[in-house]
A and B are shown apart, each in its own frame.
Chain A
């Protein structure tokens, strides 16, 4: 909301500099987002208020005139090109040296006077553009008639306009008077309320119109007044100036008064041309199916029976609380005005304005909730102005349909509650002072305050609401900092999160950069990595209103995201890259929220850096991916098995499932080159995934422990010929499970070879064996005997033979 300081000062004295004022307001009332100083560059000596005494033709130019002006120092002649200059006006007048906005270039420059078409000019009568007020350069700015001649312009119309963001539950702060009341409470200054006096004619408003509320659930109150003798025309300059500063466009005096009073009080009003109201009656009712109304913005609106309409004897004339209809609009020919000031159900206004996609200044206020008593206040103020400014004669009495006036709520606030909530007490006298300044009624009974909020504060209905009023005015800076007391809640074990966070740290430690991607992706990207046959993943949940079409679907796989990160960085990275992301797959679930399945997905590839930090000849490969997984799992304390599998988008023969016991906990693979190519990745790229739910189940509570043997190991290397399609893991498993009288055998593969010297269909595996007994040092003979047994077993189980 735009808050002009000059307007605010009608109701409360403000003598703080803008920055200090902004801070006080922000601390206690609403957030000041910024402010604009109007007239900062107007030199008080050089830019002043002048009166136009006469306007005469320019002897040498048809389009120019000679204006005689008085700045309090006798008549001066200036050359002027504005069509609207007229004798009797108060205008802004600049003399040589004033800083003005150049009418053509738009830049700030110093005024230099020169003769125009042979006539010397003593100064310049200014437009809004030259003053930096707007881009209007058509005519001169006409000042309010009561502006003091010779006064510095900055004193007459200089201002500070604050931009304030108010709250969703505070319609009263959308009125400058409401704001002033808060400022008065915060600064301790008195509040001056606007003049609401007017003279009633003998005619009774009730003789002009009747009001029948047919939907009392949606229309809580409807007041109508009648003003005859309207002289429609522009509103006075002071009113126009205020409307403009507050961000509204002046239209005519009647409409401007309704807007002015709305900006002032926060209560929206609507003026009908009485002669266009058919049947001399007003009926707020629900719209009928099929009804339409063309609103003031010239859009035909389709109405439905949930919407509240203001109707006359024949049909809708306004969408209640949102916008009037063109059929009853105030115009040049208006003589008599029917002024509506009503109160509507906030939810209904919001629903209707959302449905019609029509937000107005009125609907923004009504939807926040306005006290019904504000209607008569705003009526009186508007009638005062219609009488003063538009020549109107208010008829006697309001036509006031108010089916069920609400009793003001009484709130009992125990004094002890203040300290219970805040941690500090607030003295009774201070409580009374603050609440009274804000318009609340306060009495004390025993240890409690009985508080009645004012009618403009329907947002206050609980003791804690009152406490907020107290502390924000009392000052949050008086709240001390204390430490939470009491016992701590019991810690719940969170094994999955522990494994997840440990894995995240390990992955980074193993050289992988963590990425975080948007979790909403496109169907196209998902389809690259998710099989159409994957029942859990092929039908992702979609956003109804995505921020962009490429962010429509909740990802059911992280692979697309991490591959995209890889591809994006390849443009500026030459060497090997390793990325991982920890996130969830959003798997749709029957009749419930989706299953958010936690996953770590890593992608790697590219040329390994050589010593001089340049990409070397060697590329990362499958075994780099597997090595990282093995290190991770080793740290987590699990021994995993790797089994060849085939999986969508991954290269067959280069893909392994990772399992621990019964659980499959992830996979490691080369991404299928065709799929990689869809991401514009033209090099081999590898991927591994860990699935935290099964992985967490697979992790032993504590690591298996055996004391270090006191006896040395015996070591032997073997070269075995095994069928080419027997995985190394099968060979190692045979060795691992071989039992030989208390001797433990462990084995590692240290080479695989196929080719010359190895028969077709076979491969040679080099295996390092370690033998250990817990009770003795193994001798050469022991080892030879065990090895013979082992070789027989390998031949039996796998067809393996010793390579010679």
Chain B
């Protein structure tokens, strides 16, 4: 063995031994600086001193030292790679998490179920070209009743028990909390010309005792479409699309006869019971009838069309009113309407 080889072998052995001793990244970094550091690493210095070696040995010594250098670099990289692999193995085995522990809490808010349901209803009708309009909750008696053909002495007033406001304007104009969103049919038609295609969301109020299905403050969405060629079959098509959008694509709807003074003909719409699938006599939702009533609708009364200044022989229209709480109760199986305005987090955060 030549002296060169012996020297290089000795260096290799010493370096590798030192590397084996370095069992963490700091140790490996110190080893790297010690042996391969650019300024004063031992191998760096040795390579730098090649110029002092006898010329005949210079080439073979250089070759051996450079080979050693790449060996050491390779070895260092291999050790580092092994350490990374070890660390990862430890991380996924010994340091494995109990992934079922609770996540770090974030603050989360939700929209009220009535708002969510209203938004879904608005989206459904907006897709069919309905624009949103809003009107006042405190309303003139004239708009709420007289203008929609419910005169003061008519028993139809009993259909809407009214909360009145104790202030009379100009000594004669009565204010009330609107009992339905229907006065906005008039407000919309007063402000625009056909074609009319609007929905009007908003709160309504009834002077009535509350129970599991009745609340004195409620939320409605009114729909109105008036134009030449608006037909009752369009009403059915519009509400069919709405019912399928909110309650599932396999929903069926039926109309049955009803009476609202501001429409003629007037109907109520029911959807087939998606809870019992028309199965059980004991279904709490449809009471065994297989049908759930969800809204009132009809063709806008020709007098109302005329009063708006439209020509009822040319312009026809339909209107409908949906109770949002009722829709929300159906879609989530909420059993008591009185939950909605109690603001109990234990209720609200379920939606």
A interface residues, Cβ below 8 angstroms from B:
19, 22-23, 26-31, 34, 167-170, 346-348, 350-351, 364, 367-368, 419-424, 462, 464-465, 467-468, 471-472, 476-477, 479-489, 491-492, 494, 497, 504-505, 507-520, 541-547, 551, 554, 564-565, 568-569, 572-573, 576-580, 584, 586, 588, 591-594, 596, 609-613
Contacts and interface: CB of A to CB of B under 8 A. Distances in A.
B302 A516 contact: no
A347 B216 CA distance: 27
A541 B167 contact: yes
B167 A511 contact: no
A30 B195 contact: no
Contact of A578 (B109, B131, B197, B259): B109
B208 A482 contact: no
Contacts of A494: 132
A717 B164 CA distance: 63
23 contacts: A19-B288, A19-B289, A27-B256, A420-B231, A423-B233, A468-B266, A471-B265, A480-B236, A481-B236, A481-B240, A484-B129, A484-B238, A492-B131, A507-B109, A513-B110, A513-B349, A543-B165, A544-B163, A545-B163, A547-B210, A577-B345, A596-B138, A612-B102
B134 interface: yes
Contacts of A515: 112, 343, 348
Contact of B138 (A421, A509, A554): A554
A612 B101 CA distance: 9
A612 B261 CA distance: 59
A654 to B, nearest CB: 21
Interface stretch (B26-34, B63-71, B72-80, B152-160): B152-160
A476 B255 contact: yes
Contact of B234 (A169, A465, A484, A578): A484
A511 B229 contact: no
Contacts of A514: 109-112, 115, 348
Contacts of B238: 483-484
- In order of increasing CB-CB distance, the 8 nearest A-B pairs are A511-B107, A423-B233, A347-B153, A423-B231, A468-B265, A167-B259, A476-B255, A481-B237
Nearest to B293: A31
A509 B152 CA distance: 47
Nearest to A166: B259
Contacts of A512: 109
Contacts of A577: 345
A486 B348 contact: no
B165 to A, nearest CB: 5
B134 to A, nearest CB: 7
A646 B346 CA distance: 35
Interface in B87-146: 102, 104-112, 114-115, 128-129, 131-132, 134, 136-140
A486 B228 contact: yes
Contacts of A422: 231-233
Contact of A518 (B151, B217, B299): B217
A511 B237 CA distance: 39
Contacts of A554: 138, 165
B329 to A, nearest CB: 15
Contact of B225 (A34, A479, A484): A484
Given A468-B265, A476-B267, A544-B166, A483 B234 contact: yes
A421 B257 contact: no
Nearest to A513: B109
Contacts of A26: 256-257
A464 B257 contact: no
A354 B237 CA distance: 42
A508 B112 CA distance: 9
A304 to B, nearest CB: 16
Contacts of A516: 112, 114-115, 340-341, 343
A31 B289 CA distance: 12
Contacts of B155: 168-169, 346, 350, 364, 367-368
Contacts of B319: none
B212 interface: no
Given A27-B254, A609-B105, A485 B229 contact: yes
Contact of B129 (A169, A488, A510): A488
Nearest to B288: A19
A143 to B, nearest CB: 32
Given A168-B259, A481-B236, A489 B197 contact: yes
Contacts of A545: 163-164, 207
Nearest to B192: A489
A108 B39 CA distance: 107
Nearest to A510: B109
Given A476-B255, A569-B343, A511 B195 contact: no
A465 B303 CA distance: 12
Given A492-B131, A545-B164, A483 B114 contact: no
Contact of B136 (A462, A488, A513, A593): A593
Contacts of B236: 479-482
A350 B165 contact: no
Contacts of A30: 257
B345 A464 contact: no
A488 B136 CA distance: 25
Nearest to B217: A518
